[in-house]
Structure 1
Amino acid sequence: MDDLIPPGPETEPPAADVLAQMAQGLLVSQTLVAAEDLDLFTFLSAKGAATVAEVAAGVGVDERPAEIVLTACAALGLVERDGAGFRNTPVADHYLVRGRPYFFGDYIRMLRDHAFTGWMRVTEAVRSNRPSRWTAEQREDIFTSENRAKLFWDGLYPLSAVTARALGEAVDLGGVTRLLDVGGGGAAFDIELCRRYPGLRATVYDLPHVCEHAAERIGAAGLSERVSPHPGDFFADEELPDGHDAILLSMIMHDWDEARNRELLGKCFRALPRGGLLVISELLVDDDRTGPLDAALMSLNMLVATWGRNYTAGEYGDWLRAAGFDDVRTVRFRAPGANGAVLARKP
């Protein structure tokens, strides 16, 4: 017993609040799910403001749960008091009202139906080094599944659109005339970037059923003459479509491992002309692997859902130079789907 460390001076224990908040994170996301499932924010937008009784009658629930949900949404900053009733805050009115241009409701439902099931088995993913989103009964790939693609791409559209606007402000694409969006999904980036840059034309290169979905979005945006779907498979096809002076990889490379990413960068290099620009838009992990939180959690989401992870700007730089690119640099910005872009040129 002589070798036991003697007790030190008593110190005040650190506050446990932060751990409680972390452990209860699910409660926040599911409050948002419940409110959106009820179309609460769309109802309040139409009414302007409503009492608990009016909300209960309008969304079809009893007054007790209506009051509880409204209180939680008020605490989250999504609704606020207006006399005897409640109304939407600006963020809810802009993003959570059905029919608005950047409606996030489909994103919330996509997470509910697609992502959260795997997260409830996250330890399984960590221990097995396999996506826990897959089950013994369901091993359908979200990218190739035609049945689930609309849920996935409709859900990602508002996140991508807001991120595209931030990218367009941070990275000057004024000199680009033809953009190839590899894995462009629902064409959110192409639509937003073409709106910002009148001289830009874009090609959405993705799987055939995804291109059909993109064509609907492009047509609805009135951009069919400037944005064109190009069906293909960027791994199965020997080469990428040529004739473009810039290539965009947005929220694509985090889906794949290093070998696949190096293969894709090689195809991008061959498809670009001399002086061509490559843009990688992602939630970049810090080079010292200590954060930031959004990139770190998205990386864990990739463990749950894919064979990839989120990478550092340094890793992308090494791969780009190995593929033959030069003039590699990183531009930082803030958006839901990216915190920066790694840019490179083909010499």
Structure 2
Amino acid sequence: MTVETTPPGSIKDLMEICTGFWAFKAIVSAQELGLFDLLHETGAQPISDLARRLDVQERPAETLATALASLGLLKVGGGRYGNSPLAETYLVKGGRYYFGGWIAHLDQRNYPGWAHLTEAIRANRPMGWQSGRQEETPFDIVDPELTSQFQDAMHSLSRQSAASAVQRIDLSSARTLLDVGGGTGAWAIELAAANPQLAISIYDLPPVCELARARIEAEGLSDRIGTVGGDFRVQELPSGYDTVLLSMILHDWRPDECRRLLRACHRALVPGGRAIISELLVHDDKSGPADAALMSLNMLVATRGRNYTAAEYGAWLREAGFEAPEVRPIDAPSCNGLVMARKQAPSGGPPAGRHAVDTPVS
């Protein structure tokens, strides 16, 4: 009989997984204290000054700063702590790619919801955002403050993905784009900046459109980006567009709802028009990747959806009437793949075209 003396794998790997919330909560506390904003304004500070400015004692200030330095969010030199480039880019309020809205959403709405994960698994339904209101999703919220918080989070997250995606999507021949469920315009703003010939319409719920218009105006793009209030769950999409975008939309819904929305997108496009899906794609064998798989679990807690595979999207696109769906890899926080397909063009119309790195969806 052989006795195994060395366990497989490393317990340190498991420890890192199990204590992941420690790092997250350290970032949350730093945000709540205004630490990154302070260091952006003052530059690097010794712990004594940092503690005084944050109105905390030196022991907790040093403990938190050391933890943040270990995570690569602060840099240390000459006894002073300052923001790292990562923190300067993503954790300072007012920055173009400020990530704080997403972090606040995770802490205030998402993190408490995950306390009910086992219940969500057993019941196969979202647990809701407010006490006693099961099956309430972020899209059923009528409270203006909660709507604003959720849209801030989505804008914060989507801006990063949009900035990466614009390098991977050739829209040089596009003139009109419908951003379905476009929120407060994160994708629209990035796409408009990269494609000066493009006119964009954001289609979302009326209260969201109101929030979007404020952001669009602040970016000086009101002449290029408009909003159309509506609810694609019960209303037809506006039509006549040569491009339709669905970014982080389909993962919120059941397969039958996804198929219905893709059929609506097909109707919204002119012949030869293109649909673009931006999502975290699950491997066809359902083995991962981790970001897509865990986000899918998050959808179980918060919505009726989950993350899907490129093959599933390809099948639904064909079913809706699209041709030759293709997937293009991308590296972004909320998107690892773009799935694209075209509505059939009239005879003799322009070919769909294919990028060198595109992979046909089987």
TM-score, normalization by structure 2? 0.91
- Correspondences of 1:112-191 after superposition (within 5 Å): 112-134=107-129, 136-139=131-134, 140-147=136-143, 148-191=146-189
- Deviation readout 1:99-123 (Å, 9 max, x if unpaired): 1111111211111111111112211
Residue matched to 1:3? none
Q: 2:331 aligns with which of 334, 340, 344?
A: 334
Q: Where do residues 203-214 of structure 1 align in structure 2 (5 Å cutoff)?
A: 203-214=201-212
Q: The residue matched to 2:189 in structure 1 has which SS?
A: helix
**Counterpart selection for 1:77 from 49, 52, 72:** 72
Cα deviation for residue 134 of structure 1 reads 4.2
Q: Which residue is equivalent to 2:296? A: 299
- Post-superposition Cα deviations, 1:292-328, rounded to whole Å, max 9, x if no partner, equal 1110110000001001000000000011111111021
Residue in 2 that maps onto 1:8: 2
Q: Are 2:247 and 1:250 equivalent residues in the alignment?
A: yes
State yes or no: 1:28 paired with 2:23: yes
Change (3 A) 1:38 1:136: closer
| Contact 2:237–2:268 (8 Å) recurs in 1 | yes
1:113-137 Cα deviation digits (max 9, x unpaired): 1111111221111121121344543
2:30 aligned partner, one-letter code: A
Do residues 265 (structure 1) and 259 (structure 2) align? no
1:64 corresponding residue in structure 2: 59
Q: Can you list the C-alpha shifts for 1:259-313, whole angstroms capped at 9, x where unaligned?
A: 1001101111111111010000000001111111110110000001001000000
Indicate the SS of the match to 1:93.
helix
Alpha-carbon distance between aligned partners in 1 of 2:238 and 2:174, rounded to the nearest angstrom: 16
Q: Letter of the aligned partner of 2:159 in structure 1? A: A
Taking the aligned partners of 1:295 and 1:56, their CA distance within structure 2 comes to: 39
1:220 to 218, 221, 227: 218
Check if 1:86 corresponds to 2:84.
Answer: no
Instruction: Give yes or no for contact 1:119–1:133 (8 Å, CA) kept in 2.
Output: no
Aligned-pair identity (%):
46
1:157 aligns to what SS in structure 2? helix
Alignment pair present for 1:288 and 2:285: yes
Q: Does the Cα contact within 8 Å between 2:159 and 2:186 map onto a contact in 1?
A: yes
Shift of residue 145, structure 1, vs aligned partner: 2.2
> Deviation at 1:26?
1.1
Q: Which amino acid aligns with 1:145?
A: I
Distance in 2 between the 1:68 and 1:138 partners? 39
With 182-191 and 157-166 compared, the bigger mean Cα shift is at 157-166
Q: Which residue of 2 aligns with 1:325?
A: 322
Contact 2:182/2:203 (<8 A) preserved: yes
User: Structure 2: which 5+ runs fail to align?
Assistant: 345-362
In structure 2, the partner of 1:4 is none
Letter in 1 for 2:87: A
Shift of 1:192: 0.5
Q: Which residue of 2 aligns with 1:52?
A: 47
* Deviation at residue 138 of structure 1 after TM alignment: 3.9
What is the CA distance between 1:146 and its match in structure 2? 3.8
Asked if structure 2 preserves the Cα contact closer than 8 Å seen for 1:31 and 1:72, the reply is yes
* 1:204 alignment partner, SS class: strand
> Is 1:115–1:133's contact at 8 Å kept on the other side of the alignment?
no
CA contact (8 A) 2:178 2:245 kept: yes
CA separation in 2, counterparts of 1:144 and 1:220? 28
Correspondences of 1:227-242 after superposition (within 5 Å)? 227-237=225-235, 239-242=236-239
